[in-house]
Amino acid sequence: MEVPPQKASAALDADTIAAVATPHGRGGIGIIRVSGSSADRICRTVTHTETPAHREVRTATFHDMEGHPIDAGLVVFFEGPRSFTGEDVLELHGHGGAVVIDMVLAATLSAGARQARPGEFSERAFLNGKLDLTQAEAVADLIDGATQAAVRSAMRSLRGEFSERIDVLAESLRELRAYVEAAIDFPEDEVDFLGDGTVLRRLNELQQQLCDVADAARQGTMLTEGVTVVLAGAPNVGKSSLLNRLAGEERAIVTAVPGTTRDVLNADLELDGIPVRLIDTAGLHASNDPVEQEGIRRAEAEIAKSDLLLMIADATQPGSAGLIGVAEAVAGDEGTRILHVRNKIDLTSEPASEPTDPTDPTDATEEVVRISALTGAGIPALRARLTQALGLKSQDEGVFSARRRHLDALTAAAGELKEAIDAFERVGAGELLAEDLRRAHDLLGEITGRVSPDELLGDIFGRFCIGK
């Protein structure tokens, strides 16, 4: 998808940049990438031959500034604007040794390039209109993708699926703004114009579309950023045993002594393609021991940051104590979802929970999941309930990668629309409506980078790896 070039920005320097594009270390091949108007001259200086034609591959020897050969490999040249950055781009494919590749990079720097900042190639691609902002972010998310589903969704965003949905929304908003602003410009007709129900109907339609895209973006955020699930409960209920069971390895120490876990400990796993960080915590109970008190304080801090709280109870023990109520209150304040689990059912006559079919409405899900961390009974049901509680949909439904920043902008835009609808229903004034719509429109523009404050760009591209 070609996008129009972005506004000129201080972030776009006219100079030529270079960086190692392959990982640091030992490998068969190491690639140096150079972008900018001097790429052609640098190519001739380093290879002592003519620059290849656009997309042509040639063999060459790479030389340092004294003319000594350093390495031999392939040279590829992309003539701007038909390149990743939109500028002339040179790639030198040499041998992948840490020292030799640094020597080739040094040769390009001596020949007139400067070391690229992290993300600077992608930033130039964005500023030159080769990618929009969500696509540039998708490049980084593809590289960082922790699961196959995360990679596939990043690829969908890179191909522009997410941007397209935002563009469709932005276009509907733009049309509605034009309609409302036309009404304001002809005050004698304003009442008829705005009062015939069309505006309200379109506002409500837009609100619905915005919520649909926000829902999809929420899924994408989980894929890109992963989710955290905290295991909490009274001492000795089997939190660490459950962490080990779900992680499939003995990560945490388990003993019959209450108060075994004192610090926060985590394990990473995959749940239906979503990267999940499981966090084991110290047992919650009233304690005078300063170490335990600190452990409990940390447990509460983790709960506040988590996406889901698994409250574990011991099926052989009577009801929970006061501190567990505190944990639930912490979760409640932060809007963290809570799933209740009864563990150690192997010691009771309770049956283990069975996985329910989320598509079957008669298949009512129970409030509490009954499991045994020791025998593994009920664990498939727990995994299914976790997926459900996190609101994960099937990954086959074309989920695209997204980030918290996109979700925040969509939520804020939905807020502006809601305000617009409320105010319009109350007073029916065109001016207020136009202002709310303009703000919602700008928020959508920030997602794809049609409207992009410089500090936002610095923040986004600064997190990329060097050479991308």
Nearer to ligand GTP, 37 or 348 (CB): 348
Nearer to ligand GTP, 103 or 377 (CB): 377
| Closest CB 263 distance from Mg ion, rounded Å | 10
| Closest CB 313 distance from ligand GTP, rounded Å | 10
Binding partner selected for residue 336 from Mg ion, ligand GTP, none, CB under the kind-specific 5 to 8 Å limit: none
| Closest CB 228 distance from ligand GTP, rounded Å | 18
**For 273, what's the count of Cα atoms within 13 Å in the CB-facing half-sphere?**
22
- β-strands 265-271, 227-233 pairing: unpaired
Nearer to Mg ion, 239 or 468 (CB): 239
Nearer to ligand GTP, 381 or 433 (CB): 381
Nearest to 277 by CA among 266, 264, 289, 263: 266
| Closest CB 265 distance from Mg ion, rounded Å | 8
**Contact region for Mg ion (CB under 5 A) — 163-171, 260-268, 324-332, 335-343?**
260-268
| Closest CB 277 distance from ligand GTP, rounded Å | 17
- β-strands 69-78, 57-63 pairing: antiparallel
Nearer to ligand GTP, 206 or 252 (CB): 252
| Closest CB 306 distance from Mg ion, rounded Å | 17
- Tokens, residue 231: 């295991």
| Closest CB 302 distance from Mg ion, rounded Å | 14
Q: How big is the chain, counted in residues?
A: 468
Query: What distance in Å separates the CA atoms of residue 87 and residue 79, rounded to the nearest whole number?
Result: 7
Binding partner selected for residue 429 from ligand GTP, Mg ion, none, CB under the kind-specific 5 to 8 Å limit: none
Residue choice 261, 306, 387, 395 for contact with Mg ion (CB under 5 A) = 261
Q: DSSP secondary-structure letter at 348?
A: S
Nearer to Mg ion, 258 or 332 (CB): 258
Binding partner selected for residue 49 from ligand GTP, Mg ion, none, CB under the kind-specific 5 to 8 Å limit: none
| Closest CB 256 distance from ligand GTP, rounded Å | 4
Nearer to Mg ion, 218 or 239 (CB): 239
Binding partner selected for residue 344 from Mg ion, ligand GTP, none, CB under the kind-specific 5 to 8 Å limit: ligand GTP
Cα separation values, 6 from 11, 12, 89, 158, Å: 11, 11, 20, 18
Q: DSSP secondary-structure letter at 390?
A: T
Binding partner selected for residue 237 from Mg ion, ligand GTP, none, CB under the kind-specific 5 to 8 Å limit: ligand GTP
Binding partner selected for residue 449 from ligand GTP, Mg ion, none, CB under the kind-specific 5 to 8 Å limit: none
Query: What distance in Å separates the CA atoms of residue 132 and residue 449, rounded to the nearest whole number?
Result: 6
Binding partner selected for residue 61 from Mg ion, ligand GTP, none, CB under the kind-specific 5 to 8 Å limit: none
Instruction: List residues near ligand GTP by CB under 6 A.
Output: 235-241, 254-256, 258-261, 283, 343-344, 346-347, 372-374
**For 129, what's the count of Cα atoms within 13 Å in the CB-facing half-sphere?**
10
Nearest to 167 by CA among 12, 4, 7: 4
Query: What distance in Å separates the CA atoms of residue 218 and residue 211, rounded to the nearest whole number?
Result: 10
Nearer to Mg ion, 261 or 306 (CB): 261
**Contact region for Mg ion (CB under 5 A) — 31-39, 90-98, 238-246, 350-358?**
238-246
| Closest CB 180 distance from Mg ion, rounded Å | 59
Nearer to ligand GTP, 42 or 237 (CB): 237
Nearer to Mg ion, 219 or 261 (CB): 261
Query: What distance in Å separates the CA atoms of residue 198 and residue 279, rounded to the nearest whole number?
Result: 51
Q: Are 15 and 114 in contact (CB under 8 A)?
A: yes
| Closest CB 128 distance from Mg ion, rounded Å | 53
Nearer to Mg ion, 110 or 260 (CB): 260
Decide if residue 240 touches Mg ion (CB under 5 A). Answer: yes
Number of residues that bind Mg ion (CB under 5 A): 4
Residues paired with 343 in a beta bridge: 314
Binding partner selected for residue 374 from ligand GTP, Mg ion, none, CB under the kind-specific 5 to 8 Å limit: ligand GTP
For residue 309, give the 3-state DSSP assignment: strand
Tell me the Ramachandran region of residue 171: left when phi exceeds 0, alpha when psi lies from -120 to 50, beta otherwise.
Answer: alpha
Nearest to 170 by CA among 206, 197, 199: 206
Q: Are 328 and 313 in contact (CB under 8 A)?
A: no
**Which residue in the block uniquely carries the two structure tokens 């996406």?**
307
CA dihedral 114, 115, 119, 124 (to 10 degrees): 10
Nearest to 437 by CA among 454, 466, 416: 416
Nearest to 227 by CA among 299, 305, 341, 283: 305
Nearest to 414 by CA among 206, 115, 174, 147: 206
| Closest CB 81 distance from ligand GTP, rounded Å | 59
**Contact region for Mg ion (CB under 5 A) — 2-10, 206-214, 232-240, 293-301?**
232-240
User: What residue ranges bind Mg ion (CB under 5 A)?
Assistant: 239-240, 260-261
